[in-house]
Structure 1
Amino acid sequence: MREAAMDPLIIDFTTGAVAHRRQFGGGRGQALPRAIGMKGGKTPSVVDATAGLGRDAFLLASLGATVTLIERSAQMHALLADALMRAADSDVAEIIARMTLLHGDAKELLADLAPEVVLVDPMHPPRGKSALVKKEMRQIREIVGVDADAPALMQVALASARSRVVLKWPQKADLMAGLPKPSHQITGKSTRYDVFMVG
């Protein structure tokens, strides 16, 4: 049986999962803010080098961080730009004001940005399980591909960040090849954050 045609991908920062996570997600106690270094009153500035749907960037901005999102896919960038524009005139306008979207390859942009913290969330390796990944993630993979240059991006991030680099990675996956051992890891249900302290 053929799979039904998928609805077009739309990014929305005002409703659905994003709004729920902002209200009920657990604030700075969540794994991502902890990995970024949001503790003891600290609110680092962050570059999200692989913006994707922008949800992690939005979460961090909702907790007070200034976030620069980099997206190299023209299609994903357009979807993000549209979502940010719509949300700028809503009850989350104050959060959106802390988010800046750039179009380009993070490997080329990071050095000039001199970021405090870099978040890297590349397309994850295909899972061994036969269960289909979420429809949304399949749509993103169709748009952005497989991020074969993720190790190269990580090397640039490690050379550019002033405080730390955080790699979002499947919880049970091997460490990304060619990288130093992370300083520490923070694990969630299906995802872990490999944290590399630098500088």
Structure 2
Amino acid sequence: MSQSLAVAAADESWMESAQNLAAELSLPYLGAVDPAETDSFAQLLMVGDALSLCATGRKAPGPVWVDFVGGAVAHRRKFGGGKGQQIAKAVGVRGGFYPRVVDATAGLGRDAFVLASLGCEVLMLERNPVVRALLRDGLRRLRDAAETDSELAPIAARLSLDDSGLPASEWLVKQPAESIPVVYLDPMFPQREKSARVKKEMVAFHQLVGSDEDADALLEPAYAACYYRTVVKRPRVAPFLAGQKPSVSLEGKSGRFDVYTRHGMSRHGMSRHGMSRHGMSRQGMSNKE
């Protein structure tokens, strides 16, 4: 773990939790400090009401945290277009069919939350231990909010995090062949220097995570593990993952979803959440479905 990152507490009441997290992640612990007054580390993992990643210094951008309750995700949940969204079409959501999804490159979990809000059961994988800690904290706050919010309760029940810490390629290889309905991949793509779309607060996150240089190695184990399809989210101008042409691509203004289909899902004996009594159907379906 890079020593450009340390753990700190938002105030004295969070010091014990912060110290425990620092030990878990093998990171330096600074006590209760203000990120704006700190310059000995480039970033701080701040423990408080919400766990957040903060750049340090007086002119640093705002913090990054996982928010499954308010802000942009709440707006998208209510006004984002529901099943008409490209991501819903890409994973195959339609009618009463909500496939189970493994988001193998979860990041901050935004797409995973969208899929869970649409009705899919979603398991998030994330190999970076700091990002995994952010996801775990976001899930904790989602479940706390779900206790008093009937709209969030079913979403919280459908969203989970694998805490093994295994790289996605290793995790996928360990799964039985064709055992996962949908594998979703959104590997970090190198930021173009001229891009103005990246918010300043996300720069610290990109610096922490870096680009997924081994992204091409994900496609083969993902496709082997999936039953229905593997979906890859890419910038619009990016090459196909591993150089493999998808069955179909759904393009938007700045990005696209490459869909690698394997089998179809039978409409017979299927519950409203897309699973038959015996698990998965073997009936074929065309790529357009």
The answer as to 2:70 corresponding to 1:15 is yes
TM-score by length of 1: 0.92
Partner Cα distance (2:216, 2:235) in 1? 15
Which residue pairs with 1:187 in the alignment? 251
- SS of aligned partner of 2:180: coil
The answer as to 2:124 corresponding to 1:124 is no
Distance 1:37 1:132, change over 3 A: closer
The one-letter code sitting in structure 1 at the alignment partner of 2:155 is I
Deviation, structure 1 residue 143: 1.8
The answer as to 2:158 corresponding to 1:98 is yes
Partner Cα distance (1:24, 1:184) in 2? 27
Which residue pairs with 1:161 in the alignment? 226
Deviation, structure 1 residue 101: 0.2
- SS of aligned partner of 1:89: helix
After the TM superposition, which residues 1-199 of structure 1 pair with which residues of structure 2 at under 5 Å, given as runs? Answer: 4-90=59-145, 91=149, 92-103=152-163, 104=165, 105-113=167-175, 114-127=179-192, 129-131=194-196, 133-176=198-241, 178-199=242-263
Q: What per-residue deviation string (whole Å, max 9, x for no partner) do you get for residues 83-123 of structure 1?
A: 10011021213211111101321111124443110110011
Bigger Rg over Cα: 2
CA contact (8 A) 1:118 1:165 kept: yes
- SS of aligned partner of 1:124: coil
Deviation, structure 1 residue 132: 6.0
Once the two structures are aligned, what percentage of the paired residues are identical? 50
Moved over 4 A (4+): none
CA contact (8 A) 1:165 1:195 kept: yes
Deviation, structure 1 residue 130: 4.9
In structure 1, the gaps of 5 or more residues are none
CA contact (8 A) 1:68 1:101 kept: yes
Partner Cα distance (1:31, 1:111) in 2? 28
Distance 1:22 1:102, change over 3 A: same
Partner Cα distance (2:107, 2:214) in 1? 16
Deviation, structure 1 residue 137: 3.4
TM-score by length of 2: 0.64
Partner Cα distance (1:155, 1:134) in 2? 32
Partner Cα distance (2:259, 2:131) in 1? 26
Partner Cα distance (1:123, 1:144) in 2? 8
Partner Cα distance (1:3, 1:75) in 2? 23
In structure 2, the gaps of 5 or more residues are 1-56, 264-289
